[in-house]
Amino acid sequence: MKRLLTYLKPHKKMMAAATLLVLCIIVVELYRPIIIGDAIDDYINGYQRPYVETREGAPGSVPFRGLFLTREYEAIPGQRYDQIFLYQDRYYMALDLDWQTCERLKEAAPQELAALVSEGAVMLSAKELGALRRYDFLGILSAAALYLLMLLLGFLFNAGDTWILQKMGQNIIYRMREEVFGHIHSLSLSFFNTTPVGKLVTRVSNDTEAVNELFTSILIKLFKNVVKILGYAAVMLSIHVRMALVSFALLPLVTVLTFVFRHLSRQAYQLTRNKITEINTFLSEHISGMRLIQIFAREKEKYDAFAEKSMELYRANWREVMTFAIFRPAIYLVSVLALLLVIGTGSDAALKGSLSLGTLFIFITYISSFFEPIQELAEQFGTLQSALASAQKIFSILDEKPQIVNAAHPVDVRIRGQIEFRHVWFAYEKEDYILKDVSFVIRPGEKVAFVGATGAGKTSILNLIGRYYDIQKGEILIDGVDIRQIDTALLRGAIGQVQQDVFLFTGDIQSNITLGNETITPEEVRQAAQMARADSFIEKLPGRYHEPVTERGSTLSAGQRQLLSFARTLAYKPSILVLDEATANIDTETESLITQALEHLMKGRTTIMVAHRLSTIQHADKIIVLHKGRIQESGSHQELLAQNGLYKKLYDLQLVE
C-alpha cells in the first residue's frame, strides 16, 4: 500500500479536492434528514408551538378575533401565551396561558384538555386554522426548497468527485501500464524463457485495471464510509443519547460479521486472481499453438484441459459470489432488527412525549443509512485485498532486475565490425557451460560461418554478440571495446539479425519493414525490398507496401516472411550482418535470388552465418567448426576439407544425403 500511494504524489491537489468534496457530500447527506425532522417538529406538528400577542401590524403577526398573534419557538418563563391544541378531532385556541401550561399541553391528558374547553377555549374554524398556520405552510415550502438545494448540491459534489477520481485514476493507471510495459521491454531474454506470455498479459491488462479501481473508488470510499459512520454516530449522540445507544446495540454483531467476511473474501479474491492468471496463460499458449494441436488432432484433450481450468475459475468465482451472498443479507437483517428497535423504542418515547416525531424520523432515516457504509466498508476491504493482490503481482514484475545493464558511462564507439572472443565461457544456468574457452577474431568486412551439431553453441555465439546474455568468464570485444562498456541500443542498432523463425506484427508490409522507425523513408523501404528480392511478391499484392498483414503474417508463405525479414534487416543498414539459418525456409528458386542479393549485401559488412546446409556457407572467408562448446576446427572450405576432420565428415554426410 505504501508503494501504491507513491503514485498519488503527482496528484496531491486532485486528491485533496476529492477529499474536500467527499466531506461536503457527507455533510449534505447528514443534513437532509435533519431538514425533514425539523420541518415535522416546527411546521407539520406546529400546533404544539405557542403564539404570543403582539401589537397591530407587527411583522409576521396574524389577525385573530381582534388580536394580533405571532409565533414563538420557545416559551419564555414569566410570559403569557396562546396555544392551539387538538381535542376530539377539533382544534381549539386556549388564550392567555402561562408558559408551564403551554409546555404541559404537549402531553396533556384528555381531562385537562376538556377543562380548557370548558374554561372558554375557542374552537377554530378551518379558515382560522389556515390563517394561523399559513406560516407553517410557508415553513414547509422553505424546508422543501432547502431539501431540494441539498439534493442539487449533493449531485454537483458527487459529479465533481467522480470526475476528479476517474481522471486521477486513469492518469495513474496509464502511467502504471506504461511503466510495466516499458520495464518488460528492459528485461533480459532469460526472463521471457521462463515466464509465460499470458501471465505478462494479465499483469499489464487485468491487474492494472484492478489497481485502477483502488484509486478511482476504493481509497476515497473507504475514507468516505469511515467518516460517514463517525458522522452518523456523532449526530445521533448529539440529538438524543438514549436513542443513539439503542441504535448502536447491534454493532458488536456487525463487527463480528465484518471480520469474518474480510477473512473469507480475501481468500476468495486471491484464489480468483490466481485462476484468472492461469486461464489467461493457458489460452495464450494454446491459441498460439493451435496449428500444432490440429496437426496432431489433440483438440478434444486440450478442450478437456481448458474445461478443467475453466471449472476451477468457475468455482473460485462462485466462492466469491457466495461470500457476498451470505454477508449482504446478514447485514441487511441486522439493519432491519436495528430499525425495529429504533421504531419500537422511539414510538414509545414519542407517545410518552419524551421524543418528538421529527427526532424519531431522523433516527429512522439514520439507522436505515447507518449500516450501508458498514456493509460497503466490509466489501471495499475485500476489493482492496484484490487490488493489493494485483499490485503485488505487478510489483513482482517491476522488481525483476534486467540482467543486461548498461555501464554507468558507456564508451562512445563507431562500430565498424571487428569482433573478438577472448577465452569466453558461457552457461544459461549456473555452471552448465554451453561455450567453453572460445576464442576467435572476425575482421571488419569478413564473412565467417559457424557450423556444428545441434547444441554445439552456434546460436549462443550470435546471442552473445548482441549482448542478449552476459558471459561468465572472458571478454567479447567489438572494435577493441568490451561490449559491456557499449550502450546496448547502440550495439544492437549496429547488428542486423535474420532468424529462421520470422515474426511479423499486425499492420502492413511497410510497417513490418520499418518497425515504426520514422527515419526510414518509403523510398529506403522499397530499396531494401528490391535488394532482398522481396519486391518480387510485394508488387503483386493488391495493396503493395500497404497490403495488410495479419497476426504473425499468417497470410504469407514462409519464404515470403523470410524475404520480408531480409528487407527489414537491410532497411536498418547494419554494420554487422547475422544470418541464423536465414535460408532454411526458402525454396531452391528463392534461395538462388537471396544468394545473389547476399553477395552484394555482404560487401563492406562483417557477416556471421549459422547454417546446417554446408552448401550455403562455402563462400565464407572462414568457417569455424564447433563441437560440444569448443572450437574444433577453423579455416576456409577447402582448407577444412583438406584437414579431413569433423568438417569433412559433416560434408561427406550431406553429400550422401
In a domain, 198, yes or no: yes
Q: If you search the block for the grid coordinates 439534493, which residue do you land on?
A: 151
Q: Which of 269, 212, 226 is nearest to 394 (CA)?
A: 212
In this predicted structure, what is the pLDDT of residue 422?
Answer: 92
Q: Which of 132, 165, 198 finishes a domain?
A: 165
Highest mean pLDDT pick, 20-34, 187-201, 583-597 = 20-34
Whether 535 is in a domain gets the answer yes
Pull the grid cell for residue 411. 564508451
Residues 390 and 427 in one domain: no
The amino acid at residue 83 is Q
Asked if residue 151 and residue 17 are part of one domain, the reply reads yes
| 133 and 227 together in one domain | no
Q: How high is the pLDDT of residue 274?
A: 82
What is the SS3 assignment for 55? coil
Domain shared by 469 and 597, yes or no: yes
Q: Which of 338, 363, 398 is the last residue of a domain?
A: 398
Q: What is the pLDDT of residue 34?
A: 92
Is 90 exceeded by the pLDDT of residue 524?
no
- In-domain check, residue 468: yes
Q: Give me the mean pLDDT over the 628-657 stretch.
A: 84
Q: List the CATH number of the domain containing 328.
A: 1.20.1560.10
pLDDT at 657: 56
Give pLDDT, residue 590. Answer: 64
Cell reading at 384: 482492496
Q: What value does the mean pLDDT of the chain take?
A: 84
In angstroms, the CA 314 to CA 306 distance is: 12
| Nearest in space to 153 (alpha carbons), one of 36, 13, 30, 41 | 30
Domain assignment of residue 561, yes or no: yes
Query: Considering the domain boundaries, does residue 407 fall inside one?
Result: no
Domain containing 444 equals 419-656
Q: Which three cell numbers stand for residue 167?
A: 481522471
Q: Above 90 in pLDDT, residue 145?
A: yes
In tens, the pLDDT along 334-351 reads 888 888 988 888 888 887
Closest CA to 151 of 63, 33, 17, 281: 33
If pLDDT is split at 50, 70 and 90, which confidence band does 474 have?
very high
Residue that wins the pLDDT comparison between 454 and 656: 454
Q: pTM for the full model?
A: 0.67
What pLDDT sits at residue 609?
A: 87
Residue 247, all three cell numbers: 441504535
The full 3-state SS of 591-605, as one line of letters, equals HHHHHHHHHHHCCCC
Contact 650, 459 (CB under 8 A): no
Q: Read off the pLDDT of each residue in 584-594 and give the average, rounded to a whole number.
A: 63
380 and 266, same structural domain? yes
Higher pLDDT, 497 or 34: 34
> pLDDT tens for residues 391-421?
888 888 888 888 888 888 888 888 888 899 9
Closest CA to 423 of 449, 442, 441, 443: 441
Cα(first)–Cα(last) distance of the chain, in Å?
Answer: 65
Q: What pLDDT score was predicted for residue 428?
A: 85
Q: Residue 88: enclosing H or E segment and its boundaries?
A: none
- Flag whether 159 is in a domain: yes
pLDDT of residue 35: 93
Residue 72: is its pLDDT beyond 70? no
Instruction: Tell me what pLDDT residue 567 has.
Output: 85
Is residue 388 located within the same domain as residue 427? Answer: no
Whether 500 and 569 map to the same domain: the answer is yes
Sequential DSSP letters for 308-362: HHHHHHHHHHHHHHHHHHHHHHHHHHHHHHHHHHHHHHHHHHHHHTSS-HHHHHH
Close Cβ partners of 256 (under 8 Å, ≥ 6 residues apart) = none
Same domain? 246 vs 139: no
Between 193 and 162, the more confident residue is 162
pLDDT of 155 above 60: yes
- Do both 530 and 629 map to the same domain? yes
Per-residue pLDDT, 593: 64
Report the pLDDT value the prediction gives residue 414, as an integer from 0 to 100: 84
Residue with cell 476489493: 383
Q: Are residues 231 and 367 in the same domain?
A: yes
Inter-helix orientation angle 357-398/251-288, to 10°: 30
What's the total number of domains in the chain?
Answer: 3
Domain end position, chosen among 96, 131, 165: 165
Strands (DSSP E) found in 455-509: 473-478, 481-482, 495-498, 507-508
Model confidence over 349-379: pLDDT tens digits?
887 777 888 888 888 888 878 878 877 777 7
Per-residue pLDDT at 582 exceeds 70: no
State the pLDDT confidence band at 219, using cuts at 50, 70 and 90. confident
The answer on 465 and 372 residing in a single domain is no
Percentage of residues in the chain having pLDDT higher than 70: 96
Q: C-alpha angle 119/121/123, rounded to 5°? A: 140
Q: Which of 558, 613, 610 is nearest to 581 (CA)?
A: 610
pLDDT at 36: 92
- Tell me which range, 314-318, 352-356, 601-605, is most confidently predicted by mean pLDDT: 314-318
- Same domain for 105 and 243, yes or no, is no
Q: What is the CATH number of the domain that holds 644?
A: 3.40.50.300
Contact 560, 507 (CB under 8 A): no
Where does 353-482 show beta strands of DSSP type E?
419-427, 433-442, 447-452, 473-478, 481-482
Within 8 A by CB and 6+ apart from 407, the residues are 484, 485, 486, 487
Average pLDDT over residues 538-550: 85
Tell whether 175 is covered by a domain.
no
How far is it, in rounded angstroms, from Cα 380 to Cα 358?
33
Q: What pLDDT is recorded for position 269?
A: 76
In a domain, 459, yes or no: yes
